[in-house]
Structure 1
Amino acid sequence: MQTRNDTLLWMYEHMALSRYYEERIKAAYMIGKTPLFNMANGPLPGEMHLSNGQEPCAVGVCAHLGPEDFVSAGHRPHHVAIAKGVDLPAMTAEIFGRSTGLSGGQGGHMHLFDPAVNFTCSGIIAQGMGPAVGAALAFRMRGEPHVAVAYVGEAAVNQGAWHEAMNLAAVWKLPFICIVEDNGWGVSVSKAASTAVPRNDVRVAGYGMPGVHIADNDTLAIHAAAGEAVARARAGEGPTLIEIETFRLEGHFMGDVETYRPEGEKEGLFARDEIPRFRAMLIERGIADEATISSIEQGGRARVDDAFDHALASPEPMAGEAFATVFAESEEL
């Protein structure tokens, strides 16, 4: 089935928006961390995991989803959150630890939660599998035609939580989709050194569910495979795994010197960046001209800049607020 032009433009818009968002985050994160890197310094202390290069994994799937569908992401979540429609100013405020953030500035970038669009994420590897399968079960029990999607990295499939969730999703034939973002590296350990099978779309045959492999970070192929998986799930035909060969254009975290990568690998990945390829495809097919593409990009930058202005103008939480959402008040205490 041919992808509609408006969907193609939506996917490019959100890929470009996500890339610019990460560029703004990167610039803000590095303030105070040079020349000697110390992740405790600057306006964004702590670890920061950027999703540059993995944007196709988000837009190709989320183009088929609505706000009622559930999505859980991992510790590299910004591209998925943006494609799912998470409130951008509130998300940015959350990352900066401000009171107007999604969780009042108490969660940070690895713990984004927006119930308005049923999005969540976690810094614990494979931790989103259980909540996503639980959401799929809830949809089934309530007779709702929604689907649940869990994003994990290729290293997460070696976690017990992943296997347990996959087994239950298959046994109960739930409307669940697992997206494996295979960027080749679990922190600094290659997939070949950590996983007994080269492709996890083959591995899921052990759970009696279909698996699909997408090569070369191909946005259109991701969109097509996700469309079939979502249709299967909504029709009550059970779960699907889609493993995507994608590319991490930054380190595992900001400050990662990436000495584990083979010489020349990083340069080769930039040459295969999907965003300029997708942009060129839109123009070559006559779907958009340079002026339209430029307008889309400028609109996305304006949205991101406005979100950053909102976040930086927002107050930090009061110290006492740290207890308000952690401990329930009780007269017995």
Structure 2
Amino acid sequence: MEKERKSRLGANRRFAVAPMIDWTDRHCRFFHRQLSKRALLYTEMIVADAVIHGDRERLLGFDPSEHPVALQLGGSDPAKLAAAAAIGAACGYDEINLNVGCPSDRVQSGAFGACLMKTPALVGACVAAMRQVVAIPVTVKCRIGVDDQDPEPALDALADAVWQAGADALWVHARKAWLDGLSPKENRDIPPLDYDRVYRLKAANPERFIGINGGIGSLDAAHAHLARVDAVMLGRAAYQQPALLAQVDGLIDGVPAAGEIDFAALIDTMAAYAARHIAAGGRLSHVTRHMIGLFHGFAGARRYRQILSSEATAHDAGPEILMKAFAAVDLSVSRDAA
């Protein structure tokens, strides 16, 4: 099992798109996969109880093209997390990740997410329970601390617990989470970034796989981080300006770049995907809402966004609306603020 686990880590782990609630659903991931073939993609956080008792196709279903794709779980009960991890592995996910960083009210009420930074021994027990039942990597995503914790001992304690439990990787969002006094949105911006804390963790654990997340807005910044840690994870930057993902395969993973994006082929692929989703009972906006930022910087991008934000939301909207929006873009004219 250990040999198989290690063989699944791979070079794809050097760059990941962060798990983001309400954003990185299956339609978002399919879209992102058209732009990068090598980036590791993550689901939204899914609570273990929902995985065990909920509609698994709706919650866990994904297109085969999404590989490599990781399932992020939320929870604090080792037995439930183990059961959910086993289900995720059986569904074909390439990795199981435990959320120890989300500061939302819903997560706090369930005593998991960032709350778990306060109980590293429990996090270790959760990781150990999941590792016992799956052959794929088990990883953790955390903050550098919560509330009044000192990030030096707090992050070390969490890291030590997950390593001892057999975690394959630790992704660190380089901010504290303030559970008392800040909203989830404010927690993404107000606590100061402390990349050096993550660098120190890596320097103290050179044999461990440690990735960094938080406020990374460009691939140039990602390159700089890769000189100090094993991997980088982009969240909002990748979602809001998805075209940058087309550079990931060449710039991050060291393989020949695919060159310029074939936007016409991309739109055709997404229109066909949307048509299949609509035929299955879905709506166009389920797909196109993730594509709003695709043409950032091109002439006509504002009109493209307007069409997707209004016409694509109609109950009977079809793929032709996406084609109409694309027709508004002038790919020959690029400017800083389209």
Shorter-chain TM-score above 0.5: no
Query: How high is the TM-score relative to the length of structure 1?
Result: 0.36
Query: How high is the TM-score relative to the length of structure 2?
Result: 0.36
